[in-house]
Amino acid sequence: MESLKKPHEYAKETLEIEAQALLDAKERLSWQFDKAVEIMFNTKGKVVVIGVGKSGHIGSKIAATLASTGTPSFFLHPAEAMHGDLGMIGKNDAVLAISYSGASEELTKLLPHIKNFGVPVVAMSRSIDSALGKFSDAHIDISVEKEACPLGIAPTSSTTLTLALGDALAVALMHLRGFKKEDFARFHPAGALGKKLFLKVEHFLKRENLPIVKPGTSLKDAVVEMSAGKLGNVLIAKDGILQGIFSDGDLRRSLLKSDFDFNAPIENYMTKEPFCISDTQMPAVDALKIIEKRKIQLLIAVDENRKIVGVLHLHDLIEAGIDEIK
């Protein structure tokens, strides 16, 4: 009876087998891969990825990767295609068909109908002589010496290789399209990179109903206005020109002064010439860094004459998740 190894030893063997499958495939890459990329690059419509079983799961991920990196793509299940969804394939599309054996019944039944549309087919299978390979306009070899599965049955090395070659297709297409991080961010507006590149100060700026008082306003009335504004601050301005700011922190510090007077003018207690920004196109993440560095809650935006444009509050940035992408 074979003695059992430790789990991590089986894990190492699995990684070694699958890594070797990737290296072997690297040496087999040829003009067929170039042709596949050319077909997908020149496709005016979408790349429709099809596959069954494990190949279908891998295909779904490949379609998602292509779509997020500049190549419009979606996954279509062959069985659904045979029952009406075949109409999702247009004359300007291309098909990326995946089947390790190249003989999946659901797929081979579908291929003649796809060819009737006149769309090019890129195949991923273990042999160009398979049914799928013979229908293809370009073939990518996904054969492996052995599966990592000890029974040699469960798709393991082969699915890893297929996924890696799908990534290779996407990366090659990215290079051809000159795809940049700004393009990636456009496809991921809710992701960290999208927020970092596209969310600006102007998207969070409060411009209306700001808590503002004139110079000469009593501290008491200024506090009332600050409370009504719900920003923890009140701005002091004359004809819209910023003169100073008074925060709830300033109020607590003022209460400790021996000459504290609620009826005194706000100028006696306000912070004069507070830090401001004039660039409302500044990335919100950079504005957050300023807020944290200066240990303030409110960042004031002004024009070249220090006329108040709006204010940016720390809490709005945090609620938008800006603090998670610094």
User: pLDDT tens per residue, the chain (326 residues)?
Assistant: 567 889 999 999 999 999 999 999 999 999 999 999 999 999 999 999 999 999 999 999 999 999 888 899 999 998 887 766 777 888 899 999 999 999 988 888 888 888 888 899 999 999 999 999 999 999 999 999 999 998 888 899 999 999 999 999 999 999 998 877 666 656 555 555 555 567 788 888 999 999 999 999 999 999 999 999 999 999 999 999 999 999 998 899 988 888 889 999 999 999 998 999 998 888 888 888 998 999 889 999 999 999 999 999 988 888 877 765 55
Superfamily designation of domain 201-324: CBS-domain (3.10.580.10)
Assign 267 to helix, strand or coil: helix
Domain residue spans in the chain? Answer: 7-179, 201-324
Question: How far from chain centre, in Å, is Cα 6?
Answer: 39
Number of residues that this document lists for the chain = 326
Task: Give me the pLDDT at residue 92, please.
Answer: 93
Q: Domain 7-179 - what CATH class?
A: alpha beta
Q: Say how far apart CA 313 and CA 127 lie, in whole Å.
A: 61
Tokens at residue 277, please? 């920004």
At residue 20, the pLDDT reads 96
Residue 243's pLDDT is what?
A: 95
Which one-letter DSSP state was computed for residue 215? T
Map tokens 């990366």 to a residue: 171
Quote the CA–CA distance of 313 and 283 in Å, as a whole number: 14
Cα–Cα distance measured from residue 68 to residue 71, given in angstroms and rounded to the nearest whole number = 7
